[in-house]
Structure 1
Amino acid sequence: MLVHITDADEIVRHGEEAFLDERSALLFRAAKSIVIDLSSAADRVSDEFTSAHPEVPWSAIHRMRSVLAHHYDDIQRPVVWDTLVVDLPAVRDALLTSIE
């Protein structure tokens, strides 16, 4: 899961303006794919681990995947951007804390 968050960091390095630019879909599509892949990775985490680490927002990860995979016409770029810059760093911190 951490590798997916690191990939998301690459997108963030391009900046918010580039991400929100409607003329370019590349960063937006890449971000959606990364979040979906992250959720798929979370699905492979054992129930024992997820139960032992409630600080990781497992349900939120799965909900965002559902939105991105099934409601793609309604997805707003600023929501995905916030996921990249707010939510994924929090997930990273929780994961790193849980494996220490």
Structure 2
Amino acid sequence: MADLARIGRLGAAIVAKGRDAYLDDGVDGQILRTAGREQIVKVATVVEKLPAELKAAHPDVEWVKVQRMRNLVAHHDDKVNDEFVWETLRTRIPALLDALGLED
């Protein structure tokens, strides 16, 4: 769970740079998008290893969607919508952490 909290902090640092910086076509934007996508893969990797009991205790979390997002980002780079990834970093990952009691 500490890994999820750390990933959440990294995601928050990316979001703190702002949407325009994240979506910028320049090198800095590309770096932010690459880092953002990596956070999604890492979240799913940690979530995959969580005990079934913990997942069952949080039925409000869309566990399958977490894995699907990871598969999209990891295997179908050409189909990734950067705006959707931004929103995931901005809202969905913090909501997951909050649901698990990990939000600062």
Give TM-score, length-normalised by structure 1: 0.90
In the alignment, structure 1 residue 7 sits paired with structure 2 residue 15: no
Q: Deviations over 1:2-32 (max 9, x none)?
A: 2111110000011001000011210000011
Aligned to 2:52: 47
Report the count of equivalent residues: 97
Unaligned runs of 5+ in 1: none
Q: 2:39 aligns with which of 34, 39, 52?
A: 34
User: Secondary structure of 1:54's match?
Assistant: coil
Q: How far apart, in 1, do the equivalents of 2:40 and 2:55 lie?
A: 18
In the alignment, structure 1 residue 21 sits paired with structure 2 residue 20: no
Q: How far apart, in 1, do the equivalents of 2:50 and 2:56 lie?
A: 10
Aligned to 1:56: 61
The one-letter amino acid of 1:34's match is Q
Moved over 6 A (4+): none
Kindly indicate whether the alpha-carbon contact (under 8 Å) linking 1:56 and 1:95 is maintained by their aligned counterparts in 2.
no
Identity of aligned residues (%): 31
Q: How far apart, in 1, do the equivalents of 2:62 and 2:5 lie?
A: 14
How many Å apart are 1:69 and its aligned residue?
0.6
Give the superposed CA RMSD.
1.3
Unaligned runs of 5+ in 2: none
